[in-house]
Amino acid sequence: MGRSNEQRTFDMPLITLSQDGPIGTITLDNARKHNALSHQLVSDVIDGLKAFEEAKLRVVILRAAPGSKVWSAGHDVGELPIDGRDPLGWNDPLRELVRTIEGFRAPVIAMIDGGVWGGAVEVVLACDIIIATPASTFAVTPAKLGVPYNVSGMMTFMSAASLRIVKELAFTAAPISAERAERVGMINHVVESQDLHAFTLAMAGTIAANAPLSISVMKEQLRVLAGAKPLTPRGFEKVQGLRRVVYDSEDYREGIRAFQEKRQPRFTGQ
């Protein structure tokens, strides 16, 4: 993709890429599965970001196809391992996507109109700016599925909201409205649905007109500084090792089984 005022569109199996001058847009487009973050969809998004980085675009908008009531249903539950393997380890595609967004050299704006679930909340929070409609909600779901969360994901949440809010979201697994998410500083703006695209494009245009090197260096500085929480090797081993208690449990298998059988899980704490 070249760097000019051209407008181009590329279709991949589960997403669409389009470019309008210095602004790229990645549209999640798998309505049948509510844009669940399957291996395939995630690697399409990563490939899209890489193409945009090579084309030296100055802003990327990450959105769902117009009219989707669900922005993304989160990790594809059918792809969670049930054989004792670490479910959201370093090589999980979702983790790779979060790292790609965080390391992307230009700002990524999440444009949200609809429900955002589980791992998709982390993807959105990894974006630099979040603009949502009043109909949007965000649910942090590991406790609903009996899944352990990973350490860097926890840090993404802690950078996005106060500890009290993170605890409420994680312990209840209940969706938070866009209005409240804005009030507690988790997202940047709530904008009526009919104005969402124009508002997002205007902000992208403002960013694209500024100095790209200055922006990419500040983005990287903020990423490194936000993650610079002192942690002893012992403390790290503890928080990492604790995950195993969850993914070795019967509750973990029950959570995934219940999801697939479309019923409420019966958790026992075993």
* 149 catalytic per annotation: yes
Please, what is the minimum distance in Å from the beta carbon of residue 176 to ligand LCV?
A: 14
Q: Which positions ≥6 away from 258 have C-beta within 8 Å?
A: 264, 265, 266
Q: Which of 20, 76, 92, 113 binds ligand LCV (CB under 6 A)?
A: 76
Q: Please tell me whether residue 73 binds ligand LCV under the rule CB under 6 A.
A: yes
* 45 scored as a contact of ligand LCV (CB under 6 A): no
Candidate ranges 49-57, 75-83, 193-201, 220-228; the one touching ligand LCV (CB under 6 A): 75-83
Smallest gap from Cβ 67 to ligand LCV, in A, equals 13
Q: In this structure, is the dihedral angle defined by the CA atoms of residues 121, 126, 127 and 131, taken in order, positive or negative?
A: positive
Is 77 near ligand LCV (CB under 6 A)?
yes
- Interface region with ligand LCV, contact rule CB under 6 A, candidates 2-10, 51-59, 68-76, 237-245: 68-76
From 48, 115, 146, 149, active-site residue = 149
The one segment of 32-40, 49-57, 213-221, 229-237 that binds ligand LCV by CB under 6 A: 32-40
Least distance in Å: CB of 136 to ligand LCV?
13
Dihedral class, residue 84 (left if φ above 0, else alpha if ψ from -120 to 50, else beta): left
Stretch that binds ligand LCV, among 96-104, 114-122, 221-229, 237-245 (CB under 6 A): 114-122
Q: Which of 22, 24, 48, 74 binds ligand LCV (CB under 6 A)?
A: 74
Q: Spot the catalytic one: 115, 119, 146, 153.
A: 119
Cβ closer to ligand LCV: 22 or 142?
Answer: 142
Q: How far is CA 208 from CA 58, 109, 144, 212, 251, in A?
A: 5, 12, 40, 7, 47
Q: Is 67 considered catalytic here?
A: no
Give CA separation, 176 vs 138, 141, 182, 186, in Å: 5, 12, 10, 10
The answer to whether residue 147 forms part of the interface with ligand LCV (CB under 6 A) is: yes
**Amino acid of residue 137:** T
Active site residue 103: no
Our finding on whether 34 is near ligand LCV (CB under 6 A) is: yes
Closest approach, Cβ 144 to ligand LCV, in A, equals 6
34, 74, 75, 153: the active-site residue: 75
Q: Footprint of ligand LCV on this chain (CB under 6 A)?
A: 33-34, 36, 70, 73-78, 80, 115, 117-119, 141-142, 144-145, 147, 149
- Residues recognised as catalytic: 75, 119, 149
